[in-house]
Amino acid sequence: MMNYDIVIVGGGPAGLAAAASARKAGIDKILILERDNRLGGILNQCIHNGFGLHTFKEELTGPEYAQRYIDQVLEDKIEYKLNTMVMDISKDRIVTAMNRTDGMFQIKAGAVILAMGCRERPIGALGTPGYRPAGIFSAGTAQRLVNMEGYMPGREVVILGSGDIGLIMARRMTLEGAKVKVVAEVMPYSGGLKRNIVQCLDDFGIPLKLSHTVIDVEGKEHISAVTIAEVGPDRKPIPGTEERYTCDTLLLSVGLIPENELSKGAGVEISRITNGPVVNESLETSIPGVFACGNVLHVHDLVDYVSEEATRAGENAAKFVEAGCRETTSGEDIKLIATDGVRYTVPSTINLGRMDKMLTVRFRVGAVYKNAAVSVYFNDERVMHNKKRIIAPGEMEQVILLKDKVAAYKDLKNITIKIEQD
């Protein structure tokens, strides 16, 4: 069995940033395991720009953004294995992986960083009635086919769901000469970033139909049409609102699911809300020494936040290794409670002993709020009240907690984050 201080599962933006920060923190033996044939993960197919505005203060494409981190990993001579699938992670941190040249092999890891990213929800998960012909793709699969393989799925496109990849693909397919007829979104708001709605739909005159969904798929061998209908507040179709669109392609952008089969196999506790691991302030899961970051933890809106989060995961994994692969804390955890519109928080608990001077708590809301405030309560006392013009599910929100304040508060058991309308 091989031995590494830190094994990182996934060589996308999260895994790369975690590796670089763990190295910076002084860890020598780091191994990245990547299933694809290059580092960079899903960024490699995101050839549009808009990445890195926060991190690098410039607009990069996905591959350019990834390259910054790949360069760092190469410069640091961090080991990685490509075309390698991790098959199993055990709770005592033995990682089993496989590839063509090494066969199936096992690694004993001082710490494991989960950075597997997420996958797209398929049409099957929606229970959409109709046929199941060719020509139905998740937006990310289509993105790979167009941007990396160089093939167009079709010329007349309907998009179900307004997640960011769907919005980006609406523009991409249009630029490739296809006609994107409509984007239907079952919710009364988009799940994507405002800037993507403006730049990818509005600028190209592509209609976005909120509170609409696909209720029938036609075509036995290849898709030939879909029927879209308006849905009521119960998300059930409203009779009489049906509209039929002929098309040869249906793209789905109906949600991303953190890919945690390996985590579950190891016994990591998973949140029912995020579908990602439940983590503490160190981004450590319920299994000591197993950390998580990026979209495997919770789905992010911007890669900049993934990098920032993964950097912390790398630092914390390094601390764990330096402490002899042991927990370094004592005392009660402070619980973070998400309520009144806040769906979840990452992290879920804080241990003062390990808390950094500043801790970014990230979350998403469950509906669109206008002129509302993000409030933070220490026990029952409101300590923060940040007014915002708009808070939407498509954009990740954050509050920053200062260790001084948290430590100074007597008998602090719960920190509650909620949305308050004035």
CA proximity to 157, closest of 169, 145, 148, 149: 169
CA proximity to 344, closest of 417, 420, 267: 417
98 or 210: CB nearest another protein: 98
Q: Which stretch binds another protein (CB under 8 A): 9-17, 218-226, 362-370, 397-405?
A: 218-226
Task: Tell me, by CB under 8 A, how many residues bind another protein.
Answer: 55
* CA atoms lying within 13 Å on the CB side of residue 125: 11
35 or 300: CB nearest another protein: 35
Q: Does 32 bind another protein (CB under 8 A)?
A: no
Q: Does 82 bind another protein (CB under 8 A)?
A: no
CA proximity to 257, closest of 275, 273, 271: 275
237 or 289: CB nearest another protein: 237
CA distances to 283, 327, 332 from 413, rounded to whole Å, are 19, 21, 8
Residues 233-252 that bind another protein (CB under 8 A): 237, 248
Q: Which stretch binds another protein (CB under 8 A): 4-12, 119-127, 190-198, 304-312?
A: 119-127
Strand 225-230, strand 103-114: pairing? unpaired
| 129 within 8 A of 237, measured Cβ to Cβ | no
Q: How far apart are the first and last CA of the chain?
A: 60
Q: Does 5 bind another protein (CB under 8 A)?
A: no
Which member of 21, 67, 141, 196 binds another protein (CB under 8 A)?
141
Which member of 63, 122, 265, 288 binds another protein (CB under 8 A)?
122
Which member of 77, 100, 389, 410 binds another protein (CB under 8 A)?
100
Residues 155-194 that bind another protein (CB under 8 A): 155, 176-177
Q: Does 353 bind another protein (CB under 8 A)?
A: no
Task: Give the amino acid at 227.
Answer: T
CA distances to 20, 42, 68, 79, 404 from 73, rounded to whole Å, are 6, 17, 9, 8, 34
Question: Where on the chain is the footprint of another protein (CB under 8 A)?
Answer: 35, 83, 85, 87, 98-104, 119-120, 122-125, 127-135, 137-138, 140-141, 144-155, 176-177, 215-218, 220-222, 237, 248, 261, 264
